[in-house]
Amino acid sequence: MATIEAVGLSKRYGARNALDGLTFAAEPGDVLGLLGPNGAGKTTTIRLLTTILRQTSGTFTVAGIPGERPDQIRQRIGVLPESAGYPARQTGGEYLRYAARLFGRSRRDARTVADRLLDDVGLGDRAGARISTYSRGMKQRLGIARALVNDPAVVFLDEPTLGLDPAGQREILATIGELRRDATVVLSTHTLIEVEQVCTTVLILDRGKLRAAGPIDEIVAGAGSLSDAFLSLTEEAGHD
Ligand SMILES: Nc1ncnc2c1ncn2[C@@H]1O[C@H](COP(=O)(O)OP(=O)(O)O)[C@@H](O)[C@H]1O
Ligand SMILES: [Mg+2]
C-alpha cells in the first residue's frame, strides 16, 4: 500500500505556480529524494503533504489518510522543517522528552524513547547538555530525532544538510541511512550526492513541475549519470 499518493497537487501564489500538478506515489521503505534547484517547489511539496499549507488543487493521502484530515495525518508523520528553531536553554534530552509527551506518551515511555533516539542519532553522550552548546549538525540530528518520537509512518526532511560542513553532512546522511526501514522517508535537497547516497527513488522538480521520477538506477541509466539527468532536466541556475 502506498504511504504517499499525490494526484495533480498544485499550489499557486497569485500568478505563480509554486507547484504545478504533482502526481506520484511512495511505498514503505522508500527513501524518496525530492531534487531540484532553489525555487523548484520542494518546500512547497513538503508543506502541502505535512498539512502546513493547503493546496490550490489536487488531492493526496499520507499514511493512507486523506489530506482532508490534517489532524490524523499529523499524528502519523515526522517533520524536520526547512529552518527549524530549538529552545537553546533546554537540553537535548529535555527537548525530546517534551516532544514525546506532546504525542501523549507517559513520562516513563517518553524517557525511554528520547534515550533511544538520542543514541540512534549519535547524541547519547550530549543528552544532558544545553542545545545552545550544540553545533549546527548536532541540532539537525536532534531535529531528526524529534521527527521520530511518534514512530511516524512517513518522515519529511527538508534540506537536512543545508549549511553543514562535509563531515556534518556525512553524519546526517549516515543517520538518514539508518532510519527505520518500514517508514517512508522524503528528503528534499539540491545536492546530488545526497540523493545518490541515501535515496532509492528520485523526483526531479523544476519551477513547480515534475521533470522525472523513478528509481535512481533508471534515472541514471537513462541520462548517463544523475548529474547529467539533473542538468538536462532543470536549468540549474535557481529561479528566485
Ligand atoms: N509564501 C509564498 N508567497 C509567494 N511565493 C512563494 C511563497 N512560498 C514559495 N513561493 C514561491 O514558490 C516557488 C517554490 O518555492 P519553494 O517550494 O520554497 O522552493 P524550493 O524549496 O524548491 O527552493 C518559488 O518560486 C517561491 O518563490
Ligand atoms: Mg526549500
Please determine, for residue 240, whether its predicted confidence score (pLDDT) is greater than 80: no
Q: Which atom of ligand 1 is nearest to the CA of 82?
A: 21
Please determine, for residue 239, whether its predicted confidence score (pLDDT) is greater than 50: no
Find out whether 120 and 130 touch, Cβ atoms under 8 Å. Answer: no
11-50 tens-digit pLDDT = 999 999 999 999 999 999 899 999 999 999 999 999 999 9
Q: 128 and 114 in one domain?
A: yes
Is 141 inside any structural domain?
A: no
Beta bridge partners of 5: 25, 61
Q: 211 and 116 in one domain?
A: no
**Of the residues 133, 167, 196, which one is the last residue of a structural domain?**
133
Q: What confidence score (pLDDT) does residue 77 get?
A: 97
Q: 78 and 94 in one domain?
A: no
Q: 222 and 114 in one domain?
A: no
Rounded Cα gap, residues 135 and 141, in angstroms: 10
Q: What percent of the chain has pLDDT over 90?
A: 70
Q: What confidence score (pLDDT) does residue 108 get?
A: 97
Residues 165-186 have a mean pLDDT of 85
Q: Which residues contact 54 (CB under 8 A, 6 or more apart)?
A: 48
Is 30 inside any structural domain?
A: yes
Q: Nearest 5°: phi and psi at 48?
A: -70, -50
Q: Which atom of ligand 1 is nearest to the CA of 239?
A: 25
Residues 53-57 have a mean pLDDT of 98
- Residues with CB under 6 Å of ligand 1 are 13, 16, 18, 36, 38-44, 240
Q: Could you tell me the distance, in angstroms and rounded to a whole number, from the CA of residue 239 to the centre of ligand 1?
A: 10
Q: 111 and 12 in one domain?
A: no
- What pTM did the predictor assign? 0.94
Q: At what angle do helices 136-146 and 166-177 cross, to 10 degrees?
A: 20
Is 138 inside any structural domain?
A: no
Tell me how many domains the chain contains. 2
Q: 155 and 122 in one domain?
A: no
Q: What confidence score (pLDDT) does residue 217 get?
A: 87
Could you tell me the three cell numbers for 136? 549546527
Q: How many CB atoms lie within 10 A of CB 68?
A: 11
Q: 157 and 78 in one domain?
A: yes
- Ligand positioned closest to the Cα atom of 15: 1
Find out whether 34 and 188 touch, Cβ atoms under 8 Å. Answer: yes
Element (H, E) at 154: strand 154-158
Rounded Cα gap, residues 123 and 101, in angstroms: 20
Is 140 inside any structural domain?
A: no
Is 124 inside any structural domain?
A: yes
Counting ligand 1 atoms within 8 A of each CB, the residue from 10, 17, 44 with the most, and so the one to mutate, is 44
Q: 164 and 75 in one domain?
A: yes
Please determine, for residue 192, whether its predicted confidence score (pLDDT) is greater than 60: yes
98-118 tens-digit pLDDT = 999 999 999 999 999 999 999
Q: Tell me, what CATH number does 15's domain have?
A: 3.40.50.300
Q: Could you tell me the distance, in angstroms and rounded to a whole number, from the CA of residue 83 to the centre of ligand 1?
A: 14
If one compares 197 and 25, the residue with the highest pLDDT of the two is 25
Q: 58 and 18 in one domain?
A: yes
**Average pLDDT value for the chain:** 92
Q: What confidence score (pLDDT) does residue 236 get?
A: 56
Find out whether 98 and 58 touch, Cβ atoms under 8 Å. Answer: no
Beta bridge partners of 9: 22
Q: Which amino acid is at 152?
A: P
Instruction: Residue 187: give the domain boundaries.
Output: 4-83+151-233
**Of the residues 72, 105, 133, which one is the last residue of a structural domain?**
133
66-102 tens-digit pLDDT = 999 999 999 999 999 988 889 999 999 999 999 999 9
Is 145 inside any structural domain?
A: no
Q: How many CB atoms lie within 10 A of CB 232?
A: 14
Q: What is the largest CA-CA distance in the chain?
A: 53
Residues 119-127 have a mean pLDDT of 93
Q: How far is CA 102 from the centre of its chain?
A: 21
Is 146 inside any structural domain?
A: no
Q: What confidence score (pLDDT) does residue 174 get?
A: 85
If one compares 177 and 68, the residue with the highest pLDDT of the two is 68
Q: What confidence score (pLDDT) does residue 190 get?
A: 84
Please determine, for residue 238, whether its predicted confidence score (pLDDT) is greater than 50: no
Which residue is listed with cell 506515489? 25
Find out whether 3 and 154 touch, Cβ atoms under 8 Å. Answer: yes
Residues 143-159 have a mean pLDDT of 95
